[in-house]
Amino acid sequence: MDKILPEIKPEIKYDILRPWLTLDKWQIDYISEEKNCFLLCGRQVGKTAAASIKFGERAFNKPNQTILMIALTEKQSYSLFFKTLMYLQAKHPESIRKGLKKPTKHEIHLKNGSLIMCYAAGETGLGLKGYTCTSLVIDEAAAMNREVFISCLPMLSVTGGSLDIISTPRGKEGYFYECSQNPDFIHFYVSAEDCPRHNKAFLNAEKKRMSHLEYAQEYLAVFLDQLKRLISDELINKCCILKKPERIIRGKPYFLGVDIARMGSDDTVFSVIEKINSDNFAQVENMITKKILISTTTEKILELEKIWNFRRIGIDDAGVGAGCMDFLLLSDVKRKVIALNNATRPLDRDKLHKKRLLKEDMYMNFVMLLEQGKLKLLDDDEVRASLASIQYEYVMKEGQKTQFRIFGNYSHVCESLIRAAWLTKDKHLNLYVA
């Protein structure tokens, strides 16, 4: 690792991963650290970029390394893995093996015998038992159950390897929080406000948009016990028990909920719930698309309609979703599509009476169905991770009513589910006007 330190200086533009990436001092310190590391970081401060450089160089400079990167879901674990591959291809392309051992979605083999792997840990990490590694990297670790750490930490026993735990914070609970108090780790705490790449005007706007607690957790990297989980692990394990049906039976009452990506930065999610009877509902599909155009999202909804023949389709028509809604209201599904967002909705044709449909209303309906055992969900890592990310708080401001807020930094799947679940209610306003 010492060999690369002269090349990595704060004042030098480092364009291997991104043209605008300049390494901060904490990143240089972290990259050169060989001991166990605990990284508690605000959003978009460069933790993934620093880790990709660190473990790319470690694999290149030290022969016969086995580096395992894990996260709760495959998508999360692949993010760090892919950036590490990008780094190696840009900085050390000659070190990467080709032919039968060329890079795959899960493995990078180097000519010096080093191997970098990435896998989803899931809820327990049991599927990873049997691996031995010299470096274990746990990304988005705050979402991990204690069982994952119990399953994976023995991987380092024989090799005497190092453990890197990386995440943005959640509440003051769980194994990740306990590691923040553990002296066996070298601790790195990085706030978004200390990151020179963050746009200060954007952070100020976020500070106004978000509550004090939410901003502190997401951007200032602060553990907060005032924030609580909305859906417990116990409830998730009780409800996430289904497998996708092997075939689709047309004619059944299916409901589609769609969470549309914001400005191409998130995933668009399509969740389908079947109404078995008035007291039983089942999720039968969960589809995720990445950074697609609004027109493509609309085409996907129409394609799914041909397959499932939905009773109703619920989308968030706020922001970029408005364009999708406009397209759908001109299509054959115009009598099925319903706008579900946080804005006021007309209750009659003349729009003389309005009602505010809050996101919190949809969440409470969703949680009620789960707690009463009426709604069962797919046993899917993305579904579980999204449910586990949802938090709530009470916002109290002088002279104003106390507000109950629900939010999450991995909420896209849950946002589609709450809409599909809301549509299963017996009566809904048809917004289509001929």
What would the mean pLDDT of 385-399 be, rounded to a whole number? Answer: 83
Q: What is the pLDDT of residue 356?
A: 54
**Average predicted confidence (pLDDT) for the chain:** 85
**Amino acid identity at 357:** L
Does the pLDDT at position 34 exceed 50?
yes
At 256-297, the pLDDT tens digits run: 999 987 654 568 999 999 999 989 999 999 999 876 778 888
- How far apart, in whole angstroms, are the C-alpha atoms of residue 345 and residue 176? 42
Question: Does residue 254 contact residue 284 with C-beta atoms inside 8 Å?
Answer: yes
Separate counts of helices (H) and strands (E) for the chain: 13, 19
Domains of the chain: which residue ranges?
2-218, 233-423
Does the pLDDT at position 433 exceed 70?
no
Q: How confident is the model at residue 430 (pLDDT cuts 50, 70, 90)?
A: very low
Question: Does residue 375 contact residue 281 with C-beta atoms inside 8 Å?
Answer: yes
Q: What is the pLDDT of residue 329?
A: 87
Which residue has better confidence, 316 or 319?
316
CA dihedral 69, 73, 74, 77 (to 10 degrees): -30
- How far apart, in whole angstroms, are the C-alpha atoms of residue 64 and residue 67? 10
Which residue has better confidence, 224 or 386?
386
Does the pLDDT at position 2 exceed 60?
no
Q: What is the pLDDT of residue 216?
A: 86
Does the pLDDT at position 10 exceed 50?
no
Does the pLDDT at position 191 exceed 80?
yes
Q: How confident is the model at residue 349 (pLDDT cuts 50, 70, 90)?
A: very low
CATH superfamily of 2-218: P-loop containing nucleotide triphosphate hydrolases (3.40.50.300)
Q: How would you classify residue 364: left for phi > 0, otherwise alpha for psi between -120 and 50, otherwise beta?
A: alpha
String of DSSP letters for 347-373: SSTT--SEEE--HHHHHHHHHHHHHTT
Instruction: Name which of 255, 270, 252, 260 is nearest 312 in CA terms.
Output: 255
Q: How confident is the model at residue 343 (pLDDT cuts 50, 70, 90)?
A: low
Q: What is the pLDDT of residue 149?
A: 92
Query: CATH assignment of 233-423, given 3.30.420.240, 3.40.50.2300, 3.30.70.1230, 3.40.1410.10?
Result: 3.30.420.240
**Coil, helix or strand at residue 285:** strand
Task: Tell me which H or E stretch contains 393.
Answer: strand 391-395
The helix, strand and coil proportions of the chain, stated in percent and rounded to the nearest 5, come to 35, 25, 40
**Amino acid identity at 345:** R
Q: What is the pLDDT of residue 172?
A: 81
Tell me whether domains 2-218 and 233-423 share a fold: no
Structure tokens, 177: 């929080």
- How far apart, in whole angstroms, are the C-alpha atoms of residue 52 and residue 28? 12
pTM of the model: 0.72
What would the mean pLDDT of 68-96 be, rounded to a whole number? Answer: 92
- How far apart, in whole angstroms, are the C-alpha atoms of residue 361 and residue 359? 5
Most confident by average pLDDT, 150-159, 203-212, 312-321? 150-159
Distances (CA, A) of 60 to 32, 114, 223, 380: 14, 7, 35, 35
At 114-130, the pLDDT tens digits run: 999 999 998 888 889 88
